[in-house]
Amino acid sequence: MYDMIKSVQGIEKGDKMSTRGVIATGEVGAYWYGVYHHSDSYPSGLGKAIFRGIRDAFGGDTFSFEHEFIRSSAAMAGWRTIVDADLSLPPVVGDSWDVDAAGPWAFPAKDGEIEITSRTAPGWLEYAYVLWGNRMSILSNFDDTWVKIAVVELDGPEPDWSELDRKNTPYVEEGAKSEEEIREEKIAEIEAMIEKIKLLIADL
């Protein structure tokens, strides 16, 4: 399937340099699925386009955005780009860079639907934007491992996208315990369990 993406979408044909990503929905840490996005998929490109598109073109309606850009027939073969497009306009379909698209630019569905999932995403994809409720998780691909680098509240303040472009560390929930704190707690639990076992053995 992904060899077909590369051939149909021009990835191995001297195409322009591209940051490849996924527009997805689902639960981070469990399962997500989505569609391919070819160009400018870094946070200040695709991340900003999704954030502003949901708020401006879709009035904050994440479900309608998901339908149009993940589940619709236009989204079947993925997107050349939705960055800097007017997402309120109908998509333009074409696989040539000569296409003049004011709206989102979709690839033609030559070979049927191309779905990318958390279990099958190829290593050459760089970012995934996973929508769930009023949040968007931004995942970055580090050595074929998807790492959550940010969680954006879609009805909250707009983040510093350029800062997220440079981010290469995992996202930590506010107030979350550090790895060292978690490790110390687990050690304490194990030590307490050992003491209980010792007491049980002593009573035999």
Q: What is the pLDDT along the chain (204 residues), one digit of tens a residue?
A: 344 444 444 444 334 458 999 999 997 677 899 999 999 999 999 999 999 999 999 999 999 999 999 999 889 889 999 999 999 999 988 766 656 678 899 988 765 566 799 888 888 899 999 999 899 999 999 888 888 999 999 999 999 999 999 887 766 555 555 556 667 777 887 888 888 888 878 777
What's the pLDDT at 132? 92
What's the pLDDT at 16? 44
Beta bridge mates, 127: 21, 140
What's the pLDDT at 14? 36
pTM (2 d.p.): 0.76
